[in-house]
Amino acid sequence: MNSNVTLKQIAEELGLSTMTVSRAINNRSNVVESTRQRVLEAANRMGYTPNYVAKSLVSSKTFTIGLVIPEITHSFFPDVIRGIEDVTYLSDYQLILTHASEQADREKKAIKTLQAKRVDGILISLVQSIENYNLYKDFIKRSNIPLVFFDRCVEGIGASCVSTNDEMSAYQITRHLIGHGYTKIAHLGGPKKVAISKKRFAGFKRALKKDGIALNGEWMVEAGFHEKEGYRAMTELLKLPAASRPEAVVAVNDPAAFGAMEAIYESGLRIPEDMAIVGFSDDIRAKLMACPLTTVRQPAYSLGKKAAEKLFRCINETDEPVENIELVSELVIRQSCGCE
């Protein structure tokens, strides 16, 4: 017997009604034990597999969560996914994974499809190049599918957000640098439009402000999230006459810091003696650098877990409130900041 055996076929085989077979298989009451056994035996013999598609149609529940990831090779996200999966697994939910490849149109299409597939909820981390949030506002208002943002969020449009406290973490790591006595500190930022870039820059500024250190516009550069952009930006900074060069650098993330480090070495300077540097995200490579990179470790796994848990609460409780949940990142002190 092959796969698409139905309840009806089992019922015919046994001379029962479909309903009795359904009850037997789903362990409902009002089925006498002998009948249940006959049904289970037949189901097994005939190779019955329940059809969740039909079940979903009846129950308007798919036990499926839509997951929208901007870039899966990003090393941060696989950890997040593991956190999400560990939660969904326990509740017997499945995950539909969509990968936006940092393209807004792919993200948009993903949402449309997930909606059509009638997922019970959506977990999404936005691509970088979002120009406006109308799509999301609309979705949150018009659809009745709960949605939770994680990591790359939009706050204030009616959906909960689970993110790391980037502003605070950037503040802390910058304060750590200042604690070493540096006052001439540059900032290699990410794309201006991206929320993460903004928050980290804000934390950086607040840290300087606390000691009344003035911002030097020349040292506040928009680099990007990748090695080569960090490299390019740092190379530019190093062209400044020695007297007006910074003595420490805060990079928007680790890859940017790696690029910058390469540029620093190439110009013949030492880290941290001539130029201290800190990153953000604790890339797996950070501790392997010639001078191990001081950085911020983001709790990827817990972030996924919290986001999934919040989503389940939104699915199961009728009046679950909108929340912005911030997780604490951990400072990972190594040597590039000047420690030891």
Partner DNA sequence: TAAAAAAAAGTTAACGTTAACATAGTATGT
Partner DNA sequence: ACATACTATGTTAACGTTAACTTTTTTTTA
Q: Note the residues at the interface with a second copy (CB under 8 A).
A: 1-4, 47, 49-54, 56-57, 60, 62, 64, 67, 72-73, 75, 77-79, 81-82, 85-86, 89, 92, 94-99, 101, 106, 112-113, 115-118, 142-145, 284-285, 288-289
Q: 16 contacts which partner out of DNA, a second copy, none, CB within 5 to 8 A by kind? A: DNA
Q: Answer positive or negative: Cα dihedral of 233, 239, 244, 245.
A: positive
| Residue 285 Cβ vs a second copy, minimum distance, rounded to whole Å | 6
What is the spatial order of strands in the sheet that 248-251 belongs to? 220-222, 185-189, 248-251, 276-278
Do 283 and 295 touch, CB atoms closer than 8 A?
yes
Describe the crossing of helices 166-179 and 195-210 by its angle, rounded to 10 degrees.
40
Which one of 9-17, 137-145, 251-259, 324-332 is the stretch in contact with DNA (CB under 7 A)? 9-17
Residue 327: strand, helix, or coil? strand
Give yes or no for a cis peptide into 292 (omega within 30° of 0).
no
Q: Which residues lie closer than 8 Å to 209 by C-beta, 6 or more apart? A: none
Nearer to DNA, 15 or 241 (CB): 15
Contacts by residues 239-245 (CB-CB < 8 Å, ≥ 24 positions apart) = 244/218, 245/184
Q: 240 contacts which partner out of DNA, a second copy, none, CB within 5 to 8 A by kind? A: none
Length of the chain counted residue by residue: 340
Residue 20, both tokens: 């009795």
What phi, psi does 66 have (nearest 5°)?
Answer: -90, 135
Query: Is position 44 an interface residue for DNA (rule: CB under 7 A)?
Result: no
Binder among 2, 27, 30, 144 for DNA (CB under 7 A): 30
Q: 191 contacts which partner out of a second copy, DNA, none, CB within 5 to 8 A by kind? A: none
| Residue 62 Cβ vs a second copy, minimum distance, rounded to whole Å | 7
> Which of the 8 DSSP states describes residue 256?
H
Instruction: Classify residue 3 as exposed, middle or buried by CB count within 10 Å of its CB (0-12, 13-18, 19+).
Output: exposed
Query: Is position 13 an interface residue for DNA (rule: CB under 7 A)?
Result: no
| Residue 302 Cβ vs a second copy, minimum distance, rounded to whole Å | 14
Binder among 13, 22, 191, 315 for DNA (CB under 7 A): 22
Which one of 25-33, 65-73, 78-86, 172-180 is the stretch in contact with DNA (CB under 7 A)? 25-33
Nearer to a second copy, 56 or 183 (CB): 56
Per-residue x/- mask for DNA, residues 45 to 84, rule CB under 7 A?
-----xx--xx-xxxx------------------------
Per-residue x/- mask for DNA, residues 187 to 226, rule CB under 7 A?
----------------------------------------
Binding residues for DNA, total number by CB under 7 A: 28
Which DSSP string corresponds to 236-288? Answer: HHHTS-GGG--SEEEESSHHHHHHHHHHHHHTT--TTTT-EEE-SS--TTGGG
The position carrying tokens 């607040």 is: 206
The Cα 270–Cα 165 span in angstroms is 31
Nearer to a second copy, 59 or 316 (CB): 59
Q: 1 contacts which partner out of DNA, a second copy, none, CB within 5 to 8 A by kind? A: a second copy
Q: 3 contacts which partner out of DNA, a second copy, none, CB within 5 to 8 A by kind? A: a second copy
Please report, for residues 52, 83, 93, 95, the alpha-carbon distance to residue 90 in angstroms, rounded to integers and kept in the order given: 18, 12, 8, 12
Instruction: Compute CA 62 distance to the chain's CA centroid, rounded to the nearest angstrom.
Output: 23
Do 282 and 258 touch, CB atoms closer than 8 A?
no
| Residue 14 Cβ vs DNA, minimum distance, rounded to whole Å | 9
Q: Which residues bind DNA (CB under 7 A)?
A: 4, 6-8, 11, 15-20, 22-23, 25-26, 29-32, 35, 50-51, 54-55, 57-60
